[in-house]
Structure 1
Amino acid sequence: MAYDRTFDVVIAGGGAVGSAVAYFLKRELGFPGTVALVEPDPTFRRAASMLSAASIRQQFSTPENIRLSRFGLEFLKGLPAEHGPEFDPQLREGGYLILATPEGAPTLAANHAIQRAEGAEVMLLDREALGRRFPWLAAAGLGAGSLGLAGEGWFDAATLLGCLRHGARAAGAAAVTDRIAGIETAGGRIAAVRLGGGEIVGCGLLVNAAGTAAGALAALAGRTLPVEPRKRSVFVVDCPAAPEGMPLVADPSGVWIRPEGRGFITGYSPPEAEDAAADPEDFEPDHAMFEERLWPALASRIPAFETLKVRNAWAGHYDFNTLDQNAVVGPDPEIANLFYANGFSGHGLQHAPGVGRAVAELIRFGSYRSIDLGLFGFGRIAAGRPVIEAAVI
């Protein structure tokens, strides 16, 4: 069949993850074939990459997640030297302070041991040590805390995305402004994709990096991928009485807060029973949740924030993996030329460079060369075999 045009690799989703695959495939690994990034919104106004809190941490319980963060950290640090000062991501290593109840303290200690084994610079503090180091913290109800001493912080999301897209296109990747509306298969393989505008594009290999739309895209190929959008609201607040030099604080209640410019940004991760699938068109911040859940919990933990003032807010969506809140990466076991890079459940931006490199290696060499992400393969989905990440924020 004759197609309107053909690419060796078609990447569905031009956000940070999809662009990272193209970046490493073309720029770093010298892939000789043609690559297309298909993205319906080149402004990325509603993209998870741009609506993220843009933070990076090494405090995970899964070694692969820690390795992805360490790769991402070094990538961010190297951007100005590699691409010029205009691509400085403004990385601020302010650290994470993850708090736990007495019941959660053993899990925090187990996570800490894994993190240290992976080379992360983290400190475990008991309740008394928390009070001494952070006198502004109300330690009631806490059992322990874990503090990142280096290699954790926040950065400018637009700079990272812009660098990945610029690098990919400069190396020859094509940008296609459209969405994939259909998938054609032949002989158990993907032969072509149909774009929303009607164009039929032949492809040698399809990478599903479609973020919150990844589940719907997989369904076009007859595959069940448990990835759906979950809304998260972020609030920009001022508080003149707030302590200086705060790390990102993650409370057991699900509330987190970190410095941002002269103020702070804060959000809330609801318990699983309250975290329903979101309307992908709903980008209205949940102000009622802020008043009823977030602010009271925040003021209880850090009393200075009783006097905060909200000056802005936004909402975005996680590409939430309902099986285990971990990424799905690698080839489909039944459709050999369909690859996945999605389901990050909130840590996709920080892991985009590492995942992009890993998927590019699979395409270029047929195996992982830098970070082995076999643990996150699609096979666990069909088997119902979750990979449990005990440090979810």
Structure 2
Amino acid sequence: MQASTLGRLSPKPQRSDYDVVIIGGAVSGSSTAYFLAMNPDFNGTVLVVEKDSTYKFCATTLSTSAIRQQYSNPINVKISQFGVEFIRNFHDNVQVDGEAPEIGFHENGYLFCATEAGLDIIRENVEIQQANGADTVLLTPGEIQERFPFINVEDLAGGSWGQTGEGWFDSYGLLQGFRKRARSLGVEYVDNEVVDVVREGNRISQVTLKSGEKIACGRVVNAAGNFGPGIARMAGLEIPVEPRRRSIFIFSCRTPITQKMPNVIDPSGVFCRPEGSMFLSGGVPDPDIAIDPNDFDVAYNEYEEQIWPNMAHRIPQFEAIKMENCWAGHYDYNTLDHNAIVGPHDEVENFLFANGFSGHGLQQSPAVGRGLSELLTYGEFRTLDLSPLGFGRVRRNEPFLEKAVI
């Protein structure tokens, strides 16, 4: 692809037809654009349509910005392994004229804590992870306390810890790295919105923008996050994805934790990790129900009823904490199996999904973007076979099983 400047985004496309139109310019859409632009075998034109180029309310920037390899399915382990490799070499991967955003990868690992009821699942998961090259270890309660003496292990039967290849980073930096490099290589971004997807038989022929332009397209990638189901419905398609709220809380602690602290996953589902000199925590709402995708109200009751009690029990120093900040973001939640839908529709083959990540979109974006770019270039996956994540399982109502969902 030919190079272009990185000037201010225009709402008006430069052309009336593109080989690939990507709807949604956050991390999944921008990763796909990046890998297309980086592939010397792809010679097409690419348009990315993003309705909010500030990314103020997108799931990417409101996420907890973490990555782990502790999954129960080998494909998810390998997806994250590529993500870690990409993040470790981030500057070289995305630099433009020698410059790249800083993403500050804190490789402290995840610690999944388990009571007796959950230990067998943890043990099985660790065996799968180790068999697929993950640096995960199974710890006894004593070993947990030896490594992390601030953790209360009285009711634990064990846990699993990712010694390397897991942690957290700057999500906005990852997004901007993808986006800037893609634009420098000729991908066109517009600050606009797709308001119609025109389907003629079993193909998408064009999309209509809010500003009125009708854009002919060879293929369409739906990377619209929580607005993805609406985009699919424009084409007469349905996916089992809905917005779910996740409230995140930042708190300070009267007694600091001086040791290295992982992302602690409590058996209750509440998690907590360092955030500078403070701590970031969240959990799964009860009930966990669909909400309006424009609803960003924080569920403050979760802090008093769920976050603080469980964290104070797991880490006694958190008896005395003070909430300092909070926000709400969304999962594009796949109600079938909590895993992404990746690849083409089985009938409308030029309509590709990147939807339903259920909180894993940021960490899975490098591998998914690479995979989609391979489909768009070669018509097949060439590096990692992501076909088990395809739409076919939705059609068959066969969940893609993953036990390690948080």
Normalising by structure 1, we get a TM-score of: 0.96
Q: Secondary structure at the match of 1:198?
A: coil
- Aligned residue for 1:22? 33
Q: In the alignment, what sits opposite 2:81?
A: 70
Q: Is the 8 A contact 2:246 2:285 kept in 1?
A: no
1:1-39: CA deviation from partner (whole Å, max 9, x where unpaired): xx9711110001100000000100112344211101011
Shift of 1:110: 0.6
| Residue of 131, 136, 140 corresponding to 1:117 | 131
Aligned to 2:185: 171
What does 1:307-386 correspond to in 2, within 5 Å? 307-386=320-399
Using the alignment, how far apart are the partners of 1:37 and 1:153 within structure 2? Answer: 29
Q: Find the aligned partners of 2:187 and 2:41 in 1 and give their Cα distance.
A: 11
* Paired residue type of 1:49: T
| d(CA) in 1 for partners of 2:168, 2:39 | 25
Distance 2:64 2:57 in 1: 13
Q: 1:311 to 1:134 in 2, by over 3 A?
A: same
Q: What residue is the counterpart of 2:401 in the other structure?
A: 388
Instruction: Tell me if the contact between 1:4 and 1:200 (Cα under 8 Å) persists in the aligned partners.
Output: no
Determine the C-alpha separation between the residues in 2 that align with 1:127 and 1:113. 18
Whole-Å Cα distance in 2 between the matches of residues 76 and 319 of structure 1? 23
Partners of 1:266 and 1:50 in 2: how far apart? 16
Which amino acid is 1:263 matched to? M
Closer, same or farther: CA 222–256 of 1 in aligned 2, 3 Å = same
Deviation at 1:374, TM superposition (A): 0.6
Give the AA of the match of 2:272: I
Cα drift, residue 148 of structure 1: 0.7
Q: Is the Cα contact below 8 Å between 1:4 and 1:199 reproduced in 2?
A: no
CA distance in 1, matches of 2:189, 2:134: 37
1:25-44 equivalences under 5 Å are 25-44=36-55
Counterparts of 1:306 and 1:112 in 2: how far apart (Å)? 31
Report the RMSD for the aligned CA atoms in angstroms. 1.4
Per the alignment, residue 269 of structure 1 pairs with 284
Q: Which amino acid aligns with 2:380?
A: S
Equivalences for residues 1-12 of structure 1 within 5 A: 5-12=16-23
Query: Are the equivalent residues in 2 in contact too, given 1:29–1:364 (CA < 8 A)?
Result: no
Letter matched to residue 251 of structure 1? D
In the alignment, the residues of structure 2 paired with residue 100 and residue 270 of structure 1 have an alpha-carbon distance, to the nearest angstrom, of: 20
Identity over aligned residues, as a percent? Answer: 45
**Counterpart position of 1:188:** 202
Q: CA deviation at 1:145?
A: 0.5
| CA distance in 2: counterparts of 1:350 and 1:110, whole angstroms | 23
- In 2, the alpha carbon distance for the partners of 1:230 and 1:295 equals 21
SS in 1 for 2:77: helix
In 2 relative to 1, CA 29–61 (structure 1 residues): closer, same or farther, beyond 3 Å? farther
User: Residues 210 and 29 of structure 1: is their aligned pair in 2 closer, same or farther, counting only changes over 3 Å?
Assistant: farther
Q: For structure 1, which segment, 239-248 or 364-373, has the greater mean C-alpha deviation from structure 2 after superposition?
A: 239-248
Number of matched pairs: 389
Matched, 1:157 2:159: no
Deviation at 1:321, TM superposition (A): 0.5
| 1:135 equivalent among 124, 141, 149 | 149
What is the rounded CA distance, in whole Å, between the counterparts of 1:128 and 1:278 in structure 2? 42
Kept in 1, the 8 Å contact 2:112–2:266? The answer is yes
Separation (CA, whole Å) in 2 of partners of 1:363 and 1:251: 41
- Relative to the length of structure 2, the TM-score reads 0.93
Alpha-carbon separation, structure 2, partners of 1:67 and 1:87: 25
